[in-house]
Chains A and B, each alone.
Chain A
Amino acid sequence: AQSVAQPEDQVNVAEGNPLTVKCTYSVSGNPYLFWYVQYPNRGLQFLLKYITGDNLVKGSYGFEAEFNKSQTSFHLKKPSALVSDSALYFCAVRTSSNTGKLIFGQGTTLQVKP
């Protein structure tokens, strides 16, 4: 069965410091991985995706993610955090069907303090 795990409920980081939000996955076949961000009482916004190719994927708002096949991980990173990055972050993996269904992790709350 395919699954996604986000091991941290919350990540705290000081503004200006680098941030990492962790994600590990379990899939049969090639993984297609996504990161989304959600601000309070809003829908999810797409940040980036890994389909194939370069293991370092760059996305919106200065975020990037590193795909590591041997560790089955897809961690979200940003070199310098902003207070406005504080939000709920979701990792997702696409199922193998042609329905386009995604399996989401439970989410990680990122708190960036001034």
Chain B
Amino acid sequence: SQTIHQWPATLVQPVGSPLSLECTVEGTSNPNLYWYRQAAGRGLQLLFYSVGIGQISSEVPQNLSASRPQDRQFILSSKKLLLSDSGFYLCAWSPLAGGTTYNEQFFGPGTRLTVL
């Protein structure tokens, strides 16, 4: 069966510090991968998605970046955190889309980031 991991679970960082959040998926190949941010326990904002190694699409311009160095690894980074980067970060995966496949996304447990 497939599983998705995120770490760390909780992170407190000062303004201006760097960030690296990691997401890995097990039990599948060539997944689509997604990073979301959820502010104040409400709506989800799609930040980045990836349909393959090295292929990253950004949904919202900001000081965050994403990378996919391996097929099942997705990393969210920042060189300098802002207060507004605080939130709950969720990684998700779905089977490779295309044709008539309309698969759901499967979410990781999330990382709670607090920027002080």
Q: At the interface, is chain A mostly helix, strand, loop or mixed?
A: loop
Could you tell me how many residues of chain A have their Cβ less than 8 Å away from some Cβ of chain B?
A: 25
Q: Does B87 contact A (CB under 8 A)?
A: no
Contacts of A42 in B (CB 8 A): 109-110
Contacts of B7 in A (CB 8 A): none
B112: nearest chain-A partner, CB-CB: A41
The tally of CB-CB contacts under 8 A between chains A and B is 58
Contact with A along B84-97 (1 / 0, CB 8 A): 00001010101111
Could you tell me how many residues of chain B have their Cβ less than 8 Å away from some Cβ of chain A?
A: 28
User: If A32-B102, A42-B110, A44-B107 touch, does A99 touch B49 (CB 8 Å cutoff)?
Assistant: yes
Contacts of B109 in A (CB 8 A): 42-43
User: If A32-B102, A99-B97, A102-B105 touch, does A43 touch B110 (CB 8 Å cutoff)?
Assistant: yes
Instruction: Name A residues whose Cβ lies closer than 8 Å to a Cβ of B.
Output: 32, 34, 36, 40-46, 49, 51, 88, 90, 94, 97-102, 104-107
Could you give 8 example pairs across A and B, Cβ below 8 Å? A43-B108, A49-B102, A51-B102, A88-B41, A88-B42, A100-B32, A100-B97, A101-B49
